[in-house]
Amino acid sequence: MASVELRGLTKRYGSLAVVDNVSMRIEHGTLVCLLGPSGCGKTTTLRLIAGFVEPSEGEIRVGDRVVSTPERSLPPERRNMSMIFQSYALWPHMTVTENIVYGLKLRKLDAATIKQKLGAILATARLEALAGRYPGELSGGQQQRVALARALIVEPETLLLDEPLSNLDANLREEMRFEVRRLHDEYRYTTVYVTHDQSEAMTTADVIAVMNHGKIEQAGSPEDIYDRPRSEFVARFIGMSNVLRGKTLDSTHVSLAGAPLKVTGEPLKTGGDTAVSIRQHQIQILSSKPADQANVVPATVVRQVFLGSSRDYMVEAADGTQLRVVTPASDNVAPGSSIWLHLPADRCRALAG
C-alpha cells in the first residue's frame, strides 16, 4: 500500500520555478490527473516523482519512504514505479509476449511465475490473440495496451503516465480513455496521469489537479472541478465558461449591465469588482420578458450557428458584455433579436480574485 505525497515541491531552472511549492497527497489506489496547458509544470512534476529530475526544494514521500529531497534522491530503478511515455517505447524486435515479460525476466522470476502472470495480464488487457505479434504489426491502440500491460505486470507501487494517448487519432484516443480507466479499476495502483486534454482527465481520474504556472490552482473530483471552479483560470480551462465581471452589490449579488445577479461560490468583497463564471449551456434564452425577473438580463443576439444537435449563440448585454450560449437546436432566434437571459443563481459562481 503506497500513497504519494508532495511537500512544498519546487523545481527551478535559474530564476524560473517550473514547479512552484506544490503540495499534494495521493492516496493509495487513486488515479490523479495533472491537467493543464503546455508549460504549466505537469510533466516536470511527473518526472520529479519518477526520479528523473531532482527537486530544488521540498520532498516526495512514497508510503513511509522519503524518495526525493534536494540533498538525496533515490534513482528511478529503486522507486518501484512504472512509467509509460508518449512513444510507448516497445522493443520492435520483441513480440508482445517478450515485451510484456521483459521486466519480470530482469527481476529473475522463475518460469512458472512468469507464465502465470503473463496469462493473467494478457487476459485483462485483451491481448491473448496478439501475443505472438511484433509492435510493427499492431495498431496504435494495441501498442498502448501492450505498454500498459508491460507496466502493470511488474506490480509497481506507483504507475506514471505521461500524455499516453497523445499519439492516437481522435476516435482511438476516446476508446483508450475507457481502457485506461478499466485497467486502473482492475489493479488499483496509485496512478499519476499527465494530460492537457480535459475530456481525458474527466473520463479517467478520481482526482483532477489543475496546474497553471507551476502551481496547483485547484484539485478535486471531476464533478467538483467542473461544477465549482474557484478561479478564473480553472473556469475558462475546464468547459470554457463565460467569465463575467461586475461590481459587487452585497454579500450575494453582483451587478451585470445594471441588473443584480445573485451568485454562489467564493465570498464577495462589497464595493469591488467580482468575476463570475457560468457555463454556456446553463444560460436560458427567453424571447419575452418573464414575470420573475430575478437573475434576468436583457441582451441582443449577435450571431447564431446551427451545430446539428445544438445552436451556438453570441449575445451582448447593454453594457457590451458578450456571452456564449448553447441551446437545443429547436431554440431558433435570429441575429439582431432582443432577448432576455436567465442566469440561474446556483450556476453563477463567484471566483477568487
Q: What is the pLDDT of residue 58?
A: 97
Is residue 295 a contact partner of residue 283, using CB atoms and an 8 Å limit? no
pLDDT of residue 353: 65
pLDDT of residue 97: 95
Residue 1 pLDDT:
59
Amino acid 6: pLDDT: 98
Domain boundary among 177, 212, 232: 232
Query: In terms of residue numbers, what domain contains 158?
Result: 4-232
- pLDDT tens-place string over residues 103-151: 899 888 999 999 999 999 898 888 999 999 999 999 888 888 898 889 8
CATH number of the domain that residue 337 is part of = 2.40.50.140
Q: pLDDT below 50 — which residues of the chain? A: none
Same domain, 214 and 279: no
Which pLDDT belongs to residue 339? 96
pLDDT given at position 55: 97
Alpha carbons within 13 A on the beta-carbon side of 97: 13
User: What is the rounded CA–CA span in Å between residue 58 and residue 214?
Assistant: 14
Q: Are residues 263 and 223 part of one domain? A: no
Which pTM value belongs to this model? 0.86
Q: How many residues does the chain have?
A: 353
In terms of domains, do 159 and 90 share one?
yes
Last residue of a domain, one of 232, 260, 292: 232
By three-state DSSP, how is residue 10 classified? strand
Q: What is the pLDDT of residues 301-347, one digit of tens each?
A: 999 999 999 999 999 999 999 999 999 999 999 999 999 999 999 99
